[in-house]
Chains A and B, each alone.
Chain A
Amino acid sequence: QSALTQPPSVSGSRGQSVTISCTGTSSDVGSSNHVSWYQQPPGTAPKLVIYEVSDRPSGVPDRFSGSKSGNTASLTISGLQAEDEADYYCSSYTSSSTYVFGTGTKVTVL
């Protein structure tokens, strides 16, 4: 049950795009489309922003998008806004019927 690998931080100016990678194995990310992404501003609970690799829950802006290739999933935030500054975590359902989270990425809006 090793954590999925994410870059510690990414940054971009308002209006730019940033992409966060999430690398796992063939037992988690690579085994299905059950990859989700969570946004966590400081001091708050996580909030779902992407599920099943690329689907957005109601109310999440369409500047959030997701994709996957092999054992690596990605979250892209287009048109970066100040309110997007937060920690982001990927998560995957695994072949053992458990879940694993990524190491987390801090997004900074310059």
Chain B
Amino acid sequence: EVQLVESGGGLAKPGGSLRLSCSASGFTFSTYTMHWVRQAPGKGLEWVSSINSDSRYTYYADSVKGRFALSRDNARGSLFLQMNSLRADDTAVYYCARDTSRRAGFYYYYYMDVWGKGTTVTVSS
């Protein structure tokens, strides 16, 4: 079964740090681009960051650029989000999501086809 399981959420103080993990199973993790998407309480989805299959390219939302760092360990099937300089508005459920990473000839598909259940991050003093 294809599965993504997030962990590492919890309570952090403003200015503090947390490291989220996402453990993948049931598919060849090393061939997929991966994402983090967050959802603040009562709010909509916000794309946070993505990393391609070989870690050559990482992208970040402006709201987290310079504070968050995305990495992966293909040997362990794991994705990591290092969150520094945390702010109250980083409070959210953080979802790990798989990009389809599918292509047909020269056409590339872009959408998130598998999601984890999320881990909750609360930033408060």
- Point out residues on A near B: beta carbons under 8 Å: 1, 3, 32, 34, 36, 38, 40, 44-48, 51-52, 57, 87, 89, 91, 93, 96-104
Of B45, B59, B63, B110, the contact of A46 (CB 8 Å cutoff): B45
Q: Which residue of B lies closest to A51 (CB)?
A: B111
**Given that A34-B111, A45-B116, A93-B110 are contacting pairs, would A98 and B45 also be in contact in the complex, using a CB cutoff of 8 Å?**
no
A-B CB contacts (within 8 Å), total count: 68
Q: How far is the CA of A93 from the CA of B100 in the complex (A)?
A: 12
Q: Is the CB of B62 within 8 A of A1?
A: yes
Q: Is the CB of B44 within 8 A of A3?
A: yes
Q: Is the CB of A98 within 8 A of B50?
A: yes
Q: Is the CB of A51 within 8 A of B109?
A: yes
Q: Is the CB of B115 within 8 A of A47?
A: yes
Of B45, B50, B59, the contact of A101 (CB 8 Å cutoff): B45
Q: Is the CB of B115 within 8 A of A46?
A: yes
Residues of chain A within 8 A of B95, CB atoms compared: 45-46
| Shortest distance between the CB of B111 and any CB in chain A (Å) | 4
Kindly state whether residue B35 has any CB partner on chain A within 8 Å: yes
Kindly state whether residue B61 has any CB partner on chain A within 8 Å: yes
Contacts beyond the supplied A3-B46, A96-B59: 4 A-B pairs with Cβ under 8 Å: A46-B37, A51-B100, A51-B109, A98-B50
Of B35, B50, B111, B118, the contact of A48 (CB 8 Å cutoff): B111
Instruction: Pull 21 A–B residue pairs with CB atoms less than 8 Å apart, ordered by A.
Output: A3-B46, A32-B110, A36-B111, A44-B117, A45-B116, A46-B45, A47-B115, A48-B113, A51-B100, A51-B111, A51-B113, A57-B113, A87-B44, A89-B45, A91-B47, A93-B111, A97-B57, A98-B47, A99-B35, A99-B47, A101-B44
